[in-house]
Every structure is written in C-alpha cells, then in structure tokens.
Structure 1
Amino acid sequence: MNIFTSNAAKQRFIALCALGAVLFAAIGFAIGLLWMGNRYPMLREPGFQQFAASYDRVISDYLNGAEPKQLLDGAAEGMVAALEDPYSSYMAGEKGDAYTQSYEGQFYGIGAEIRVEEDQYVISGLTKGAPAERGGLLPGDIITAIDGQAAKGKDFQELLALVRGEEGTSVVVKVVRGSDSKPIEVSLKREAIPVHTVTSELLEGGIGHVTISRFADMTGEEFKTELGKLQQDKPLKGLLLDLRSNPGGLLKPTIEIANMLIPDGKAILDVVYKDERQIITYKSRQEKEWTIPIAVLVNGQSASASEVLTAALKESAGATVIGEQTYGKGVVQAFKQFADGSVLSLTEAQWKTPGGAWINKKGVTPDHVVSLPAYASLRPLAIGTAMKIGSYGEDVHTLQLVLQELGYGPAGVEGYYDEQTAAAMKKFQAAEKLESTGQFNDKSGYQLLQRLREKLDREDPQLLKGVEVLKGQGA
C-alpha cells in the first residue's frame, strides 16, 4: 500500500530522511571528536598536528625505513626529557624491566656491581659465587661491550638491560684491564642474583650497627631479620643506623622500618601533590615499643628515602644524626609500567618532614657534623694499569698518597714514579708477602685498597662519634 499522496510528498520525505542522516552523522562525529579530545588532550594541541605530520612523513618517506614503536618510544623519551627534571624519565622496553628489577628481591644477571666513572662503566664489586666472579671478571674491569654492542654512549639503564635477561640465557661481556691491555671476552650464563640491602654487626658495648645500602622491596623484612640476629642473645643497648651513601629507593620499606622505630601515632612524613590537591600523611603504626637509643650516620650521598627515614627518626623518635649534610632530594617519583615493560618514572609530589620542613635542595642537617678523613675521597687506584719507574700522572699521584697514608712514605716526587716510589712499593709488597718488584700491579693494587678500607674502618670518625653518642645516652 502506498502511504504517499503524491510523488512530491515522497520526494520531501526522502530529502528529510537524508538530511536527518547527515545531521545524525555530523552530531555523532562531533561527539566523537569531543570524546577523543577529552580522552587524549594532546589532540587539541596545535603542535600535535606537526607531530602527526612528521610521524607520517618519516614512516612513508625516510630512506632507511622506520619502526613505528621505535619512533613512539623515542617521542615519549623526548617528551619526558623536555621536562628537564633529573628524576623523571621514560625507559622503553628492556630498560624499563631492568629498572623495576633493581627494586625486586632478586633479578637475573651476572652478579656484577657497576659504577659510572669518567663516562666508562667500571665493575665495582662482585657477588660471591655468581657468574661474573666464576668467569674471572674483577673489580676495576672496564666494560667496553655487551653481546657485541658498545657500552660507550649508552645510559646506565640501557647497559643494565643488556646485562640482565632471562634465567639461563648467555651474555658475552667484553672488558679491558688497563688502558693498554687487550680486551677480554667472557661468556656468562645469567642466574638469579639475590638483592641484599641490609647488613649488621654487633659493636662493643652492645651497640648494633645496621647498614642499609638502599630501599628495595624486601628491605623492611631484611631489616627486621638483622635486628633479630643482633638481639638473639641479649637486648641491644644502642642502634647505630648507617645510611651513608644510601641513594634512597621505595617508600614502602622506608615506612615499614619507621613503623618499627618511631612511637605509635607519631608523624613520619607528609607527601604533597601538585597544587596541594592531595596530601598524604604517614604516621607510625608501631606494634612493639622501641626504647633503645638511636643514632643515624649520613653523608652527602644520603638521598631521598634515606633522608625521609633520617628526618623522621630525628624529629619523631629523638634520634641523633651524625655526619654530613644530606643530598637534599625532597621530591617523590611514581612509576607506571606498561604491558611491553616500558616504564614512566615521573616526579609527582614533594615531601616534608614531621616538623614541616621542606628538604629539597637543602638536605637534613646533622646534630653533629663530622667529616671523613681526606684519604676517603681519593680517586680510585688504577687497577689494571701497570705503573713503574718513569710512569707519571694522576694515577701515580693517587698511588703515592695511598702508600703514604699506609705508612710507606715518603713516596717520591708528586705524580712521578721515581726510585723513591718504587722503594715504597717494594716495602709494601714485602710486608704483604707479595713479589717485591717495586712495580704497581693488580695484586698490589687490590691489597692496597683492602688495607686502606681497613684503616678507614678503624679510624671512621663518623662511626666512632655515633658510638660515643650512644654510650653517652646510656648504651
């Protein structure tokens, strides 16, 4: 049955339907744009059109071709780097995995501690029994390549990502020992490497000396375990908490330790977010009262979470702080890990002490300012470098200073390896039952470092002051 009274009525109806469809589509499109703009604010930015156009042009026309993910990872890294915030970063893929693993209870790697020294990656320590030690790597070795990829030009997280990997997989590490040595290549299998962040020892007079190297996932549990060991025979009379050169880490274990030592209900810190839209106050939830006097050791490399704990113990638990002004990192990063392993670590808040002080770029001031002796700041000995009569330079000068500190001076003309320097070396080598060549070599270098560490342990003025303070408080 025809419902239209004429062809003209039929044409009007069709036109109205078409117009309605166009309007409906236009409204839907507008709503979609509005939703996209709210969902992805960068789409509203004029500069985004330039980014999109540049991306399309690179993908379609770049001579050597480009991978979309590589471009987008690079864009994310550049975006965060543009903040010029030393604590915020975007770490793509394996770099992100390496970042998160460093805070876990274990990771899969070779068991070598690595430090950056004059743009070189130097092995600073080895985990006993781990692949790196078994494979013959030594402290002082300079890493030049991992699996054929040059170490030079890579940032620290990139290098970690190359060294670490899946359990049982192999990695080839190339190192040099000294500037004129031939490179050494070692193939190692990755194993589970436990992350230990807390050590302890019982000092004279019943004082427990507990050192926390950084705050990782299991640091709170490790701290509790070490306290138990120290108190298994009889109660402690004092706690000397060593946070020197502790760079910080996770807030959660920091709060766990604060809960053990700070009276219940006392403030630990306030975390203040952008525009004060959120302020989180952490207060102690102590379950068992702690009555033992506390002293805290810090230096200029004590930063972030170690400063949180130091300030909280000082202001809420009456602890005495000894050493040097701390680093002054009073901002908080939150990190988000994406499905591909990439990590965004972003500064999102700042924190203040229980007393309301902001410490960013200021640090925590010790109650007793005590510096380490000058020899504690000497540049590293040139392990892996052969030095003999006729050698000269800063490495020779450092060696001479170490010999003099250990009582084997005078050690010759400053910076020049002369007969007097050789005689001092011979004297040291003879005392240590080493081959008395008068030349500097690896064995002599490691022994010198060991004796210098022992001297610092004996003469450590910060630790001695801590013991003195605790004894004065009844320890």
Structure 2
Amino acid sequence: MHQFAKRFGRYFGLACLVTLGFFLLNGRHDSVRAGTDDVYKNLEIFAEVLREVEQNYVEPKDAQTLIYGAIKGMVGSLDPHSSFMTREEHQELMQETQGSFTGIGIEITLKDDVLTVVSPIEGTPAYDAGLQAGDKIIKVEDKFTKDMTLTEAVKMIRGPRGTEVHLTIIREGEDAPLEFAIKRDVIPLKSVKVFRLTPDIGYARVSTFQSKTAEELSQALDGLEQTGELKGLILDLRNNPGGLLSQAIDVSDLFLDSGSIVTTKGRISSQNIEASAHRDGHPRPYPVAVLVNGGSASAAEIVAGALQDNGRALVVGTRTFGKGSVQTILPLSDGSGLRLTTSLYYTPSGRSIQSSGIMPDVEVPFVRSEKDKAKEDISLMMREEDLEGHLPSEKSDGEEGGEKDAKDPGEEAAQVLLEQDNQVRYALDLLKSWKVFSRIKSAS
C-alpha cells in the first residue's frame, strides 16, 4: 500500500501540473487560479475515494481497473456517444471501420437513457431476426441494461461466431416485451448495393458509411451508367446508422459539382471544418430521390441534408434520427482510446440536425404489405416457441423444391422491392414524372 500511495502521489502531482499547463497554454490567465483550485479540490476527493477503496473494499482491486472505471464514468456522463475504450475495444472499433466484426449487426445508442436500436444492418443476423429501428433493449442475456454504458452493451452483444445472444426488447405497439435469440456471425461491411428498378431508373442502397463506401458507390454507379442511360436514381439511406464523416462528404460529392456539403463547429478551431463539393469531370445530371427514415442517422443525415439543401435531390420518407454530433477517435498512450464528441455538424443552409433530424420534402410513412406482415407474424411465433433455435433466413421462391429458371439478382431484387415497399414505389413514381413536372412553369 505504501508503494501504491507513493506511485499515486506522483501521478496525482503530474496530473495537476498537466492541468495547470493546459490552462496556461490556452491563455486563461484570469481564471487559472480559480480553475486550478477547483481542479485540485476535486482531484483530492478522487484521491481520497481511491485510497478508501484500495484499503477498505471487501475485495482487492488493482489500480488500473479502478482508474479505468473512473474514466469510463466521467466520459459516459458527457453524452450518449462519448466513451472510453480499452485497448481491445479500441482495436475492435478500428477493425469495424475497415471491414468486418463478429456480432449480430445492429447500431445502438442511448436514447432517453434507454439502450435503443438505431437500425439493424441489412443482411445481418439482427436484420434477419426482425429487430427494428427504435426497439428498446431492456435486457442482454439475464442482465438489465439500465445504467449500462454503450461500450458495456456492445461487449455483451458481440461474441464468438456461432454463439447465441438473448435480447429482451420493448417495441412500440406491442403489449409485452419480445424475446430474441440471435446467433452471432461475422458481419461483413460491404455497404453498397446497386441495380436497375426499371430500364432507365436505378436504385442504390447504402447501408453504412465505411472506409470504401464512396469508392464502392462510384464504381457501382459507373457500371450502371455504362449499361444504358439513367433518367433517375433512388438513393436509399433508410436504416443507415452512419459511420465515417469523410465518406459522407465523398458520397455527397459524387452528386454535387459545387456548393457546401457540411460544416462542423466545435470549441477549438481545428474542429471547425467546411467541406465543399468539387467538379470531378463525371457529371451525373439525372434527378435523385433520397429515401430516409427514423433509422437514418449521422453520416446518412449529412448526405440527405447536403443533397436537399443544394436542390440536388428530393428527400422522401420520414424524419431521420437526429444525430448531429461528430465523434473523434483519440488513441491514448497505452493503446486504449477515447471516442469524444468534439463538434456539431450543420447542413449547407446552416441547420443543426442534432435531435431535430432531417425532415423529408415528401413525407411517406412506410406501410407493410400483407405478405410482409404474415411473414413477420410467423417469425415472431417461432421466436416465442423456440428461443434456443436460430432463425433461418427466408428463402426466395425456387431455392427449394425443384429447379426454376435462374433470374438476374438485380431483377429479382427490384421485383421484391416494388411489390413490398411503398416508399420505393412512391420515389419511383416521382422520378418517372420528374420530366413532366419540370416543364410546368409557374405563373408570373
């Protein structure tokens, strides 16, 4: 204990010097005395608590565990999106932005202090099991999520491939909590899917913004354009939880030749950024309809706001999630990391998206088809009766029970979308009539 006290005293003194230096370097000469006194007093309380825990807690705890816990509590008190990450958690995050991770495939946040699904990632176990944007997770396994941090929740939900995680959720419109048993898998993060809905109107689905999203989308659109003239494009950002700010800027730039894309404003000048579009010699003159909903967040909202404010696209659907803050990942000296909210972002017209989200130009609520409702009812009954079994993905017609003529995957996907998705049908009708409406002149 004596050695610990000496070591802590040394770290405590160093922390005080660093804090004092911070105030001096930032030019706060008038408030240095009062500010430093406050910091000293609070650090002294921290030291007292640490000593008491070290000496009197029923079980011995090592210093790093205690200090990491204190840091997590401090950062977690800032906002729902700031967090402290251990070395392992930091490495997992870096891997996730580059390619894949093992889990069930959901983006989660703390909304009104409740662990909430922002959106399931398309094609993942969570998506196939039927988790939806807005679902409130009240239990992971047998542990209630009240007072659970985002980092703790992510750690519990992720796990080895092939193992199951049990979630208890509350869903609006349901009388009782729903139980899900979801088998973990490798979550690939290929984020772009593109095909033609009709001979002259394309469809581009961006499910998340990862390190190569803009490159993937650009290449996919090039391929689509080379196979025939496009007279319109539906850019589907529904249930897109966001991702890298740089990719949101680059995706927006694919459709803009000039104008502002996004502005970020923070406390220090380095966080104040204005990203503008560039003319790249590859015009995409066709009209664009952007689909959004309550699961469209962060980077997805940047793209929707940029195209809307620049008059480049009509935004169709329902109001977006409203995550208008930027998180910076700061690596720390021991390999751990700090995810810190450092700025807010604003659309080209100066709108802050924080909490308010993007309002669509044309509001179109999603209406489930009768066929889709029947499938959902069956899957829910299967989960309630047999929680230990995994839920197989639904098979398209012709996968079992004999051979059928092979269909082009794009044609088949287009057919399913047009049959079951009223928002896609509405956007398609808008694009089909775009040329007609553009000829109408207002009265002078």
Normalising by structure 1, report the TM-score. Answer: 0.63
Give the distance between the partners of 2:293 and 2:182, measured in 1 at CA: 38
CA contact (8 A) 1:314 1:321 kept: yes
CA contact (8 A) 2:129 2:182 kept: no
2:337 aligned with 1:319, yes or no? no
Q: 1:366 to 1:64 in 2, by over 3 A?
A: same
SS at match of 1:310: helix
* Total equivalences in the alignment: 357
SS at match of 1:102: helix
Once the two structures are TM-superposed, the CA of residue 275 in structure 1 deviates from its matched residue by 7.7
* 1:48-447 equivalence runs, <5 A: 48-83=43-78, 85-107=79-101, 109=102, 112-113=104-105, 139=129, 157-158=151-152, 160-161=154-155, 173-174=163-164, 194-263=188-257, 265-274=258-267, 279-287=272-280, 288-373=282-367, 381-386=380-385
1:38 pairs with 14, 20, 27, which one? 20
Given residue 473 of structure 1, which amino acid in structure 2 is its aligned partner?
Answer: W
CA-to-aligned-CA distance 1:301-322 (integer Å, 9 cap, x gap): 2121111111111222521111
Once the two structures are TM-superposed, the CA of residue 157 in structure 1 deviates from its matched residue by 3.8
Q: 1:356 to 1:185 in 2, by over 3 A?
A: closer
SS at match of 2:358: coil
SS at match of 1:231: helix
SS at match of 1:371: coil
Given residue 332 of structure 1, which amino acid in structure 2 is its aligned partner?
Answer: V
> Which residue of the partner structure matches residue 431 of structure 2?
470
CA contact (8 A) 2:193 2:206 kept: yes
Give the distance between the partners of 1:125 and 1:250, measured in 2 at CA: 15
Given residue 352 of structure 2, which amino acid in structure 1 is its aligned partner?
Answer: W
Q: 1:246 to 1:34 in 2, by over 3 A?
A: closer
SS at match of 1:383: helix
Q: 1:342 to 1:172 in 2, by over 3 A?
A: farther
5+ residue gaps in structure 1?
Answer: 1-30, 388-431, 435-452
SS at match of 2:424: helix
Given residue 113 of structure 1, which amino acid in structure 2 is its aligned partner?
Answer: G
CA contact (8 A) 1:99 1:157 kept: no
CA-to-aligned-CA distance 1:207-260 (integer Å, 9 cap, x gap): 110011111112112212221332232232211100111121111111111221
Q: 1:62 to 1:459 in 2, by over 3 A?
A: closer
Greater relative contact order (Cα < 8 A, sep 6+) = 2
SS at match of 1:291: coil
Once the two structures are TM-superposed, the CA of residue 359 in structure 1 deviates from its matched residue by 2.4
Q: 1:383 to 1:336 in 2, by over 3 A?
A: farther
Give the distance between the partners of 2:15 and 2:251, measured in 1 at CA: 50
SS at match of 2:226: coil
Give the distance between the partners of 2:122 and 2:303, measured in 1 at CA: 28
CA contact (8 A) 1:314 1:320 kept: yes
Given residue 349 of structure 1, which amino acid in structure 2 is its aligned partner?
Answer: S
Q: 1:463 to 1:172 in 2, by over 3 A?
A: closer
Give the distance between the partners of 1:37 and 1:257, measured in 2 at CA: 40
Q: 1:114 to 1:329 in 2, by over 3 A?
A: closer
Once the two structures are TM-superposed, the CA of residue 340 in structure 1 deviates from its matched residue by 4.3
CA-to-aligned-CA distance 1:135-157 (integer Å, 9 cap, x gap): xxx8479x9x99xx977656564
CA contact (8 A) 1:249 1:304 kept: yes
SS at match of 1:349: strand
5+ residue gaps in structure 2?
Answer: 1-12, 24-34, 132-136, 169-179, 387-398, 402-413, 437-444
Given residue 68 of structure 2, which amino acid in structure 1 is its aligned partner?
Answer: D
Q: 1:351 to 1:466 in 2, by over 3 A?
A: same
Give the distance between the partners of 2:277 and 2:194, measured in 1 at CA: 24
CA contact (8 A) 1:323 1:368 kept: yes
SS at match of 2:380: coil
Given residue 173 of structure 1, which amino acid in structure 2 is its aligned partner?
Answer: T
CA contact (8 A) 1:261 1:286 kept: no
Normalising by structure 2, report the TM-score. Answer: 0.67
Given residue 272 of structure 1, which amino acid in structure 2 is its aligned partner?
Answer: K
CA contact (8 A) 1:177 1:385 kept: no
CA-to-aligned-CA distance 1:23-61 (integer Å, 9 cap, x gap): xxxxxxxx9998544246697511110101211232233
Q: 1:454 to 1:48 in 2, by over 3 A?
A: farther
Q: 1:176 to 1:363 in 2, by over 3 A?
A: closer
Once the two structures are TM-superposed, the CA of residue 291 in structure 1 deviates from its matched residue by 1.2
> Which residue of the partner structure matches residue 395 of structure 1?
none
> Which residue of the partner structure matches residue 423 of structure 1?
none
